[in-house]
Structure 1
Amino acid sequence: MSAPVPPGTGDRRRTRGIRAALGRIGAIFVKELIQLRRDRITFAMMAFIPLAQLLLFGYAINTNPRDLPTAVFVRDDSIFARTFLTALRNTDYFEITAVARSEAELDALIVSGAVQFGVEIPAGFGRDLIRGERPAILVVADASDPTATGGAVAALEGLGASLFARELTGPAAKLAAGEQPYEIRVHRRYNPGGETRLNIVPGLMGTILTLTMLIFTALSITREIERGTMENLLVMPVRPVEIMIGKILPYLAVGAGQTALILVFARLLFAVPIEGSLALLLALTMLFVLANLAVGYTFSTIADTQLQAMQMSFFFFLPNILLSGFMFPFRGMPAWAQYVGEVLPLTHYLRIVRGIMLKGAGLGDLRTDVVALAAFTLAAMALAVARFRQTLD
């Protein structure tokens, strides 16, 4: 016959069990904190990613851009033309950055993306205004990104009939009190219907290629290290640049396949035109793919694990998608954000792909962005080779 169990023994056992469990949980908690402190890359990502999102969304994002670069072609030297240009500046939406000497020069500035608007004041504008003939001012808007032009066009059309109230005196004063004595004709080029898909779909090609190419190559070296197969490469008589080229070439082919797939579906499903040279578009897309492969390869030489490589890839992808002009108007961002955006390859590629597909731009029109993209690619490849570790740590 078993001895009786003293009262309260079961409660004490449960208490000891709970204490033991809490002790084990505490030990694991401390262990994870120590491991997190040692994994500096992960710890930095945890701190900087939310901070970067807060700063970018709080300060850099603006869906109503102002001070948009504008070129003017003035064929009339009257006081009325000067008054109109002054009123144009005072709207805060237009910043006159270029003075064209011909219609062809004005068109070239718009096609190249140097300006967002082109304003042409016709010859005899002041004379026709006084005669009551309602002369027309032509405003050409680069509407490839409809969000960037909507507010500016509305401000332009709202200048009103009283614009020339001070200049129209005597018998002509009645013109300032009645119907608007001039006409503004807005030509929305490249996307006259303001369809978002024409702006988004070409941009998607850049964002998809950025994300996939970064991840593919960022995992390449770290996967070799984790699996232990890097040792086989290190004992072979292969130079770092040869290893890099050998690893990048397959993904370059993958990027070419993705590009062809996106272009086909962009045309068939979304009816996005390709106004410019398809060969030029493909060549510059391969340059952009190479730039992202070089960045991903650099990350793979820094990261110790595949998780770290993924974290760095997303940390690079975040400013690309927010500061490149893909989601929000580039010219609506503050100056410091635009400076950061100019360093990113996606910014220049978006201008290239939208310029070729929507505007029919040629290599001469895109030379600034092509040179910037090529310089970034060379710098990223040089850094990747320099960072490549010939021996395992």
Structure 2
Amino acid sequence: METQPARRGALAQSWQRLVAMFVKEFIQLRRDRPTLGMIVGIPLIQLLLFGYAINTDPKHLPTAVLVSDDSPMARAVVGALRATDYFNIKYIATGEADADEYILSNRAQFVIQIPPDFSRRLVRGERPSLLIVADATDPTATGVAVAAALGAASQALDRELTGPLASLAQTAPPFDLQVQRRYNPAGEARRNIVPGLIGTILTMTMLIYTALSVTREIERGTMEALLAMPVKPVEIMLGKITPYVLVGGVQMATILIVASFLFHVPIVGSLFVLVPLTLLFIVANLSMGYTLSTIAANQLQAIQMTFFFFLPSMLLSGFLFPFYGMPIWAQYLGETLPLTHYLRIVRSVMLKGSGFSDLAADAGALALFALVAMSVAVMRFRQTLD
């Protein structure tokens, strides 16, 4: 039988081996700086974004006004709406077509329309109509603002309705405020979420596919044979990216079919607009994934870098939280992400019927991102295995 001293000796040796493995893992983790950075960086990013950038009560929403009655009463109504802090009047529309263009191009979340006979009919006690057009593709971003507008309307003309007009102040308000929730009048969340899923799914899958492309070749030893061939770096990159463009197209088609037949999300716009812009978005993500693959030393680091890029994209793009609810610095950061621009594109085409001219700014941002990512990837690509 094993004696007690022998058992103690075996236990001490086991403890020493455990401590050695413990120290070895920390030394290896310290040398693996990308992994160490992810361990510290991802929780820090989550804390900062959720603490400072995320806000479910967006204010200062971009607004256009179409005022056909330049009277003190009309200006008082517009001023009352601005005073709620929910409406940031950035554009002056010259007509209804111009006002619609601000909505279709995603430059304005609201349009305030005041008819030409507003003050005359109000003085007569005829309760004229005032229209607020809301882009309801994101019901979370517009719901609170609409409620604030209804509340401000009852006090908008308190200073103007005095003297002979004091009797009109007894009605609350002396005009009819109509709210037109376009593109999603019922406020259905699925009309906002399901189109956005196209962008998030494509971002995740395209990044992972290409982020592993170069590192997998290196780890398997096939990169040496590839580099020995008379192939240029840009040709290798395009050769690796092109098959996944087709894969992304299949994913997009699958999601659109499910969205239409299962969730009954309409496709108001043209597929001839949506498909090319989606392919451009796919190329942008593949280029970013390829760039990450040239930085990562192994497949684990490639996956970690993918999540490091995907997390801000999810939080700052407007998919989970209203884009205009974030502070200005977070909006500027979100504008650099391809998912931000694609969410505007896919929602605008599917729900609004926007065309190429309406989405030129977002399409240009995607093209610029893809060009920069491709250029960085080509410059970083190693012709030899150093």
TM-score (norm 2): 0.98
* Matched residue type, 1:186: V
Q: 1:295 & 1:153 partners in 2: Cα distance? A: 39
AA of the residue aligned to 2:241: I
- Please name the residue that 1:90 is paired with: 83
1:20-169 alignment runs, 5 A limit: 20-169=13-162
- State the secondary structure of the residue aligned to 2:88: strand
Separation in structure 2 between the aligned mates of residue 317 and residue 158 of structure 1, nearest angstrom: 39
Contact 1:162 1:177 in 2 (8 A): no
Amino acid of the structure 2 residue aligned with 1:184: L
Aligned to 1:349: 342
Residues 256-306 of structure 1 deviation map (CA, whole Å, 9 limit, x = unaligned): 111111111111111111111101100010000001111111111111110
The whole-number CA distance in structure 2 between the counterparts of 1:162 and 1:104 is 30
Could you tell me whether the CA contact under 8 Å between 2:184 and 2:191 is conserved in 1? yes
Contact in 2 for aligned 1:163/1:176 (Cα 8 Å): no
State the AA in 1 paired with 2:348.
Answer: G
3-state SS of paired residue (1:212): helix
Alignment partner, residue 256 of structure 1: 249
Alignment of 1:257-276 (within 5 A): 257-276=250-269
2:9 alignment counterpart: 16
How many residues in Structure 1 have an aligned counterpart in Structure 2?
A: 386
Aligned to 2:288: 295
1:232 paired to 2:222: no
The CA deviation at 1:165 is 2.3
1:161/1:177 contact within 8 Å kept: no
Q: Which residue of 1 aligns with 2:317?
A: 324
- Equivalent-residue separation in structure 1 for 2:156 and 2:310 (angstroms): 47
3-state secondary structure, aligned to 1:241 = helix
Structure 1 residue runs of 4 or more that deviate by more than 3 Å after TM superposition: none
C-alpha distance 15-300 of structure 1, shift in aligned 2 (>3 A): same
Task: Give the C-alpha shift of residue 160 in structure 1.
Answer: 4.8
Q: Secondary structure at the match of 1:158?
A: helix
The alpha carbon displacement at 1:159 in A equals 1.9
Counterpart of 2:149 in structure 1: which amino acid?
L
Distance 2:7 2:211 in 1: 50
Contact 1:116–1:141 (CA<8 Å) still a contact in 2? yes
Q: What RMSD over aligned residues (CA atoms) do the two structures have, in Å?
A: 1.1
Return the offset for 1:63: 0.7
Q: Hey, what's the Cα distance between the residues in 2 that align with 1:279 and 1:51?
A: 41
Q: Which amino acid aligns with 2:319?
A: F
Task: Letter of the 1:83 partner, please give it.
Answer: A
C-alpha contact 1:128 1:134 (8 A) present in aligned 2: yes
| Unmatched segments (≥5 aa) in structure 1 | none
The answer for the alignment partner of 2:205 in structure 1 is 212
The residue aligned with 1:369 is 362
One-letter amino acid of the counterpart of residue 310, structure 1: I
> CA-to-partner distance for each residue in 1:312-354, whole Å, 9 max, x for gaps?
0011000001100000000000001001000000000001111
For residues 201-257 of structure 1, the C-alpha deviation after alignment (integer angstroms, 9 at most, x for no partner) is 110000000000000011111111111111110111111111111111111111111
| Distance in 2, Cα, partners of 1:165 & 1:355 | 39
Rounded to whole Å, the distance in 2 between the matches of 1:97 and 1:255 is 37
Q: Report the CA distance shift for 1:391/1:194 in structure 2 as closer, same or farther (over 3 A).
A: same
How far off is 1:186 after superposition? 0.4
TM-score (norm 1): 0.96
1:161-180 superposed Cα distances (whole Å, 9 cap, x missing partner): 34322211233202112342
Distance of aligned partners of 1:119 and 1:383 in 2 relative to their CA distance in 1, 3 Å threshold: same
Amino acid at match of 2:272: A
Pairwise CA distance, 1:193: 0.5
Query: Residue 80 of structure 1: CA displacement?
Result: 0.6
Whether the aligned pair in 2 keeps the contact of 1:72 and 1:120 (CA below 8 Å) is yes
Which one is further off, 13-22 or 284-293? 13-22
Aligned equivalent of 1:379, options 368, 372, 378: 372
Query: Are 1:190 and 1:359, in contact at CA under 8 Å, matched by a contact in 2?
Result: yes
- Work out whether residues 234 and 391 of structure 1, in 8 Å CA contact, stay in contact via their aligned partners in 2: yes
Change in 2 beyond 3 A, CA 1:19/1:277:
same
2 CA distance for matches of 1:230 and 1:186? 61
Displacement of 1:14 in angstroms is 2.4
- 2:330 maps to 337
Structure of greater Rg: 1
Q: Alignment partner of 1:139: what SS?
A: strand
Amino acid at match of 1:62: N
The worse-fitting range, judged by mean Cα deviation, of 107-116 and 10-19 is 10-19
Query: Is the contact made by 1:130 and 1:168 (CA closer than 8 Å) also made in structure 2?
Result: no
- The CA deviation at 1:392 is 1.1
**For residue 128 of structure 2, what is the amino acid of its counterpart?**
P
**Mean Cα deviation higher: 216-225 or 12-21:** 12-21
> C-alpha distance in 2, partners of 1:178/1:321?
46
- Aligned equivalents of 2:191, 2:50: Cα separation in 1: 24
